[in-house]
Chains A and B, each alone.
Chain A
Amino acid sequence: MRIIKKNAMFYMMMIPIVVYFAMFAYYPLVKGIQTSFQDYKLMGERPYIGLDNYDLVIHDPSFWDALWNTLYIGGGILIIGFIAPLLIALSLNEVMKSWFKKTAQMLLYVPHLLSWVVIGGIFIFLLSPDTGLVNMLLVNIFGMNPINFMADESWARSIMIGSAVWKDMGYNCILFLAGIAAISPSLYEAARMDGATRWQQVRYVTLPQLMSTMKVIFLLNTLGLLRIFDQIFVMRNPAITSKVDVLMMYTFQKGIMEIRFGPAAAASFFVVLFTLLLTVMVRKITRFDEV
């Protein structure tokens, strides 16, 4: 009892945090699961209807479209967004002049700091068919016809992947560089003594030593795969919705736009399930726990 009294201050400090998490993390999670089994209306009765909401979602073709789009776009971002910054980090690491290295890092990092509204907005303008910079270049320098990138279904997903990779490239690159910086210089020294070329040093020292960093980054990026929302919300337009609307967009539309909370909650439950599944899979594949 005396210990508790002595520590009363600490428990008091913890109260707001515990209350906050209970109300805004645990309770919504439980409520979400509960809602997914209910015919949830804002007013009046909310009868339990078993698995009807799940049934509805599973038989909704646009849910499967959304899932496929998520896997396509998210997978693209995951893979290209992993390889591109890795290459850039390796390439930056070969540059000797540190002012150049620092400037490059600084510049590449900027888009990560900006919101998707800003980045999406810039992309929409750059790619616009009549005044966008990209089309101006295509028309004036290469003599091509302008392409309406943002309204073309065949371009839609590539643009989403490309812009997401472009935005987060600098951020992931810095993580890779931190991993490279942590490699012991004596390994390179030994490799040089054995007459290893620069390429061989990258192949046999840097890459194997970077393995654990690579696994961490890959795992972290996998967790983000199903969470794509802001980007699509900003960059979608009626012409391409069927190609780019992802799971979170589907949930948002069902819940907030159509005010059908039950099916929306059921769909979000699938998101949780897929996230768990993906995490387990990636952990297995990368043997993350063995690092």
Chain B
Amino acid sequence: MGWKNKLFDCLNVMFLLLLMLTMIVPFINVVALAFSSGMASMQPDIILFPKDFSVEGFTIVWQSLDLWRPFMNSVIVTIAGTFLHVLLSSLAGYVLIQPYLPGKKLMVSFILLTMMIPQDAIMIPLYLVNKDLHLINTLSSLVLSGMVSGFSILLMRNYFMAVPYEMSESAQIDGAGMFRIFATMYIRLAKSGLATITLFEFVSRWNMLSAPVLYINDSSKITLQVALKSMITEASATSSNFLVTTNVRMAGILISIIPLIAIYPFVQKYFMKGLMLGANKE
């Protein structure tokens, strides 16, 4: 009995370690290649440490290939879009917790129904709508895409519902306006909810691919993911292009990961809690 248990534990941990290796090794490979020189990164070799250490990959991708421009576009779209998304979702969530509001049921079903519409299935008409509004080739189209979502509204509503309504009532008696109650009381008490949707939105906007592919074709307005995509797939087809060596592409990948790694500690704190909330609520 005892040794069987021990053996099982041993195999179990080995299995998990092996699994973790499949996560770690590719990333070590990426980092090692990014910090290698162009020549070294193109050699057929198992590279887990930088070979012929250099940062030329980063300087080439940032300056010669102008990655800074799509990077800045992504920063703008991510920050503006996330801010608006969080603001609108929490406003709507706040409205939906008002107990005596005529027409509230109608609003709830109006919002719930939007969650049933598969976003990707309306890709073509959404493109046409953006075209009719002259939003094609503007960063605004990307900010507008997914500017508010039923999921976030409901999530915020759930967080706000945890705030006792009596508090807001007594503040009203003290003469505080609705908006002030919202800004000073609810927003503060539902901090973890705000953090959750902020992170959700930040990550999905930073990684957004189909919207910029659809709406943007002006090369000065493309986002980081699109720039990276063309660098990765097109460069592998035309390897004669001496600028785009493997270290350059890996440097591009690393640059695009950095903001996500920076927020990862917060993700662990809030995001995962939010995930579970989302999954259990269904």
Please list the residues of chain A having a beta carbon within 8 angstroms of any beta carbon in chain B: 3-4, 7, 9-10, 13-14, 16-18, 20-21, 23-29, 31-32, 35, 42, 88, 91-92, 94-95, 100, 103-104, 106-111, 113-118, 120-122, 124-126, 128, 130-131, 133, 136-137, 139-140, 166, 170-171, 174-175, 178, 198, 213, 216-217, 219-220, 223, 226-227, 229-230, 233-234, 237, 248, 251-252, 255-256, 261, 264-265, 268-269, 271-272, 275
Contacts and interface: CB of A to CB of B under 8 A. Distances in A.
Interface residues of B, number: 89
B114 A26 contact: yes
Given A107-B23, A118-B257, A271-B118, A35 B125 contact: yes
B233 A234 contact: yes
B77 interface: no
Nearest to A94: B12
Nearest to B239: A130
B111 interface: yes
Given A14-B92, A126-B26, A220-B282, A113 B260 contact: yes
Contacts, number: 238
30 contacts: A7-B98, A13-B94, A17-B148, A18-B110, A24-B126, A26-B117, A28-B126, A29-B125, A95-B12, A107-B20, A107-B24, A108-B20, A108-B23, A113-B203, A115-B225, A116-B207, A120-B232, A121-B253, A122-B253, A124-B232, A124-B233, A131-B45, A136-B44, A166-B22, A220-B279, A230-B209, A233-B229, A234-B233, A248-B123, A271-B118
A229 B228 contact: no
B88 interface: yes
B127 A256 contact: yes
A78 B264 CA distance: 27
A174 B275 contact: yes
B102 A3 contact: yes
A195 B270 CA distance: 39
Interface in B40-88: 42-47, 88
Nearest to B199: A113
Given A17-B148, A178-B279, A117 B232 contact: yes
Nearest to B230: A117
A137 B209 CA distance: 32
Nearest to A267: B124
Contact of B207 (A88, A114, A125, A219): A114
A261 B128 contact: yes
B238 interface: no
Q: From DSSP, what is the main secondary structure of chain B's interface residues? A: helix
B279 A217 contact: yes
Interface of B: 5, 8-9, 12-13, 15-16, 19-20, 22-27, 29-30, 33, 42-47, 88, 91-92, 94-95, 98, 100-102, 107, 110-111, 114, 117-129, 131, 144-145, 147-148, 153, 177-179, 203, 206-207, 209-210, 213-214, 225, 228-229, 232-233, 236-237, 246, 249-250, 253, 256-257, 260, 264, 267-268, 272, 275-276, 279-280, 282
A29 B115 CA distance: 12
A233 B124 contact: no
Given A14-B92, A21-B111, A113 B232 contact: no
B246 A271 contact: no
Contacts of A229: 120, 210
Contact of B129 (A3, A28, A109): A28
Contact of B124 (A26, A109, A261): A261
Contact of B25 (A13, A29, A133, A268): A133
A24 B144 contact: yes
Nearest 9 A/B pairs, CB to CB: A115-B207, A28-B125, A32-B125, A121-B232, A31-B125, A255-B124, A28-B122, A178-B276, A25-B114
Contacts of A175: 275-276, 279
Given A28-B126, A131-B246, A178-B276, A248 B120 contact: yes
Contacts of A35: 124-125, 128
Given A31-B125, A108-B20, A272-B121, A117 B102 contact: no
